[in-house]
């Protein structure tokens, strides 16, 4: 959906990230944050303002869906809280990123159709935790990088379809013995009419 | 006395009869050659008669019976079941083969396609039909009456319309639309009896459900009198009522069994 920004000589923008992951008990957890300088309510959901503590790698804005990857880096995390990141099942989490267009003077979200616009939909395929140690201050901070692959990229690598073997048949339909004998008959010899 | 000395002795005797000179030499050579030929033929004939006598008195060596058929089942555990949209010819994937009745009946299950879902255009379920069955280059024509109507072959025809009755009564084809308990008549025929697949395939039980599969069961009876001594390569013309491009794309994108598994909320349609 396109945004009509022609009436505005200047605009501001911010990215809003919605991460749906699972905690250690398998319960869905939705984590929302933004690189806006303060927390912001969007469609009834509060996005925690991280400001410059959140960065997203640049990607090309294509006219069609592409398989581009991007990395979201959350820095300045206190070391005592890094174990919280490991409590969550980050790999496989769904991630949605929206771009909100703001009035640079009032810093309010512009009331135009399609704002905020969808920017990226995908899954977290990997994550990395880096530690930055400050020798002078004798403390360290943690950066968590989420490597995300778009849905299109995952589809390109996806394999689907049912093979003619009992394992895949029973995986889909437990108890269905229709393919049970395929391993036995594969390349088996027969003698039609032999006494 | 060696054979060679007999021949040379014969030559001397012939030479004595014809005397010297070129003419005599030629004649001697011709007579000697003819004699050698006659003796050689006599020896061959004697050997042949001896072999026949031996064969009458002794147990004959086993020879290859030309009317038996040996083969290999072409089943593959890694073969992916295809998805047919519209109409297509397919040889199917062999997923079961059972020899019964003392090796005189072969029952083969050919898995033809995955069962597809609901059409986006009208919300109705897609359905399959088996339009034609071919054995080799012959199109099978089925009985139209009797208990095995629509199942048992009456005759087969080639592209010129010539009829062949070699498969009459010895080949049967059962078609199933979605699972083992959904028998369906081949297009243009009515079913004389409806049989679940596990009642047709020897060794099958109700647990052989074949869920969400379009498949055919073919039975071949060995009959050398009719020339039915080998298993022909089968080909099936299958038709799916899902033909619209939008329906096909939506089905393939959304299906989690054989498609991309994209959630419906992420597919924009209108």
pLDDT confidence bin for A80, thresholds 50/70/90: low
Chain A interface, best mutation among B67, B68, B90, B96, by max A CB count within 10 A:
B96
pLDDT given for residue A31 in this prediction: 85
Please tell me the predicted confidence (pLDDT) of residue B17. Answer: 42
Of A22-31, A123-132, A144-153, the range with the lowest mean pLDDT is A22-31
| pLDDT value, residue A64 | 65
**Prior bond of A116 cis (ω within 30°):** yes
Contacts of A177 in chain B (CB under 8 A): 205, 207-209
Cβ neighbours of B252 in A, within 8 Å: none
Q: Is A94 on the interface with B (CB under 8 A)?
A: no
Rounded to a whole number, what is the distance in Å from the CA of B117 to chain A's nearest CA? 14
Please classify residue A34 by burial: count the beta carbons closer than 10 Å to its beta carbon, then call 0-12 exposed, 13-18 middle and 19+ buried. Answer: buried
Residue numbers in B near A190 (CB within 8 A):
70-73, 97, 99, 103, 106
Q: Which of B128, B133, B174 is nearest to B151 (CA)?
A: B174
| C-beta atoms of B224 and A193 within 8 A | yes
Which residues contact residue B50 at a Cβ distance below 8 angstroms, ignoring those fewer than 6 apart? Answer: none
Query: How many CA atoms lie less than 13 Å away from B56 in the CB half-sphere?
Result: 5
Q: Average of pLDDT values for A19-42?
A: 80
User: Is the CB of B176 inside 8 Å of chain A's CB atoms?
Assistant: no
The chain-wide mean pLDDT, for chain A, equals 81
Confidence of residue A30 (pLDDT cuts 50, 70, 90): confident
Q: Which residues of chain B have pLDDT under 50?
A: 1-40, 42-67
| Residue in B186, B138, B136 with CA at minimum distance from that of residue B160 | B138
Q: Say if the Cβ atoms of B222 and A193 lie within 8 Å.
A: yes
In chain A, % of residues over pLDDT 70: 85
Looking at residues A43-64, what average pLDDT do you find?
Answer: 73
Q: Is the pLDDT of residue A189 over 70?
A: yes
A181 and chain B in contact, CB less than 8 A? yes
CA-based nearest residue in chain A for residue B72: A189
Are A145 and A72 in contact by the 8 Å Cβ rule? The answer is: yes
What integer pLDDT is reported at residue A87 of this predicted model?
63
Q: What is the pLDDT of residues A146-187, one digit of tens each?
A: 888 887 777 777 778 899 999 999 999 999 999 999 999 999
* pLDDT at site A4: 75
Run of H or E including B33: helix B21-57
Predicted pLDDT at B149: 94
Count of pairs with CB atoms under 8 A, one residue in A, one in B: 131
Q: Residue B118: which residues within 8 A CB-CB, separation 6 or more?
A: B124, B125, B126
Work out the pLDDT band at A66, boundaries 50, 70, 90.
low
Q: What is the pLDDT of residue A133?
A: 82
Inter-chain CB proximity B114 and A162 less than 8 Å: yes
Q: Is the predicted pLDDT of residue A7 greater than 90, yes or no? A: no
Instruction: Measure in Å the smallest separation between the Cα of B170 and chain A Cα atoms.
Output: 13
pLDDT on residue B12: 44
């Amino acid at each position: 959906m396109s945004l009509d920004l022609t009436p505005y000589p200047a605009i501001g923008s911010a990215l809003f990230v919605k991460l749906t992951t699972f905690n250690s008990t398998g319960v869905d957890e939705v984590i929302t944050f933004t690189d806006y300088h303060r927390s912001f309510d969007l469609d009834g959901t509060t996005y925690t303002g991280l400001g410059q503590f959140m960065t997203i790698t640049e990607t090309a804005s294509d006219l069609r869906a592409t398989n581009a990857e991007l990395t979201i880096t959350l820095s300045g995390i206190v070391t005592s809280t890094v174990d919280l990141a490991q409590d969550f099942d980050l790999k496989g989490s769904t991630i949605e990123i929206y771009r909100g267009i703001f009035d640079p003077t009032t810093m309010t979200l512009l009331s135009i159709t399609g704002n905020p616009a969808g920017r990226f939909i995908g899954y977290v395929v990997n994550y990395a935790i880096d530690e930055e140690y400050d020798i002078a201050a004798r403390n360290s901070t943690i950066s968590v990088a989420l490597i995300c692959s778009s849905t299109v990229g995952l589809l390109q690598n996806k394999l689907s379809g049912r093979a003619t073997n009992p394992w895949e048949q029973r995986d889909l339909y437990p108890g269905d013995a229709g393919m049970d004998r395929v391993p036995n008959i594969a390349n088996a010899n027969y003698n039609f009419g032999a006494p | 006395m060696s054979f060679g000395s007999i021949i040379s002795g014969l030559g001397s005797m012939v030479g004595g009869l014809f005397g010297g000179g070129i003419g005599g030499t030629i004649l001697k050579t011709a007579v000697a050659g003819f004699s050698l030929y006659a003796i050689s033929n006599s020896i061959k004939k004697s050997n042949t008669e001896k072999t026949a006598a031996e064969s009458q008195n002794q147990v004959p060596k086993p020879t290859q019976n030309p009317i038996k058929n040996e083969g290999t089942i072409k089943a593959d555990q890694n073969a992916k079941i295809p998805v047919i949209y519209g109409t297509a010819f397919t040889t199917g994937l062999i997923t079961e083969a059972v020899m019964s009745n003392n090796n005189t009946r072969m029952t083969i299950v050919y898995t033809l396609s995955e069962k597809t879902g609901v059409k986006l255009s009208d919300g109705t379920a897609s359905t399959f039909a088996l339009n034609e069955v071919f054995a080799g280059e012959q199109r099978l024509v089925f009985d139209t009456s009797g208990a095995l109507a629509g199942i048992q072959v009456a005759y087969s025809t080639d592209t010129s319309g010539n009829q062949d009755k070699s498969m009459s009564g010895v080949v049967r084809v059962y078609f199933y639309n979605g699972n083992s308990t959904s028998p369906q008549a081949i297009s243009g025929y009515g079913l004389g009896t409806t049989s679940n697949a596990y009642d047709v395939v020897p060794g099958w039980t109700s647990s052989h459900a074949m869920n969400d599969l379009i498949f055919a069961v073919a039975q071949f009876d060995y009959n050398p009198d009719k020339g039915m001594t080998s298993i022909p390569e089968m080909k099936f013309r299958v038709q799916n009522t899902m033909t619209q491009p939008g329906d096909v794309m939506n089905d393939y994108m959304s299906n989690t069994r054989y498609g991309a598994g994209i959630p419906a909320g992420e597919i924009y349609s209108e």
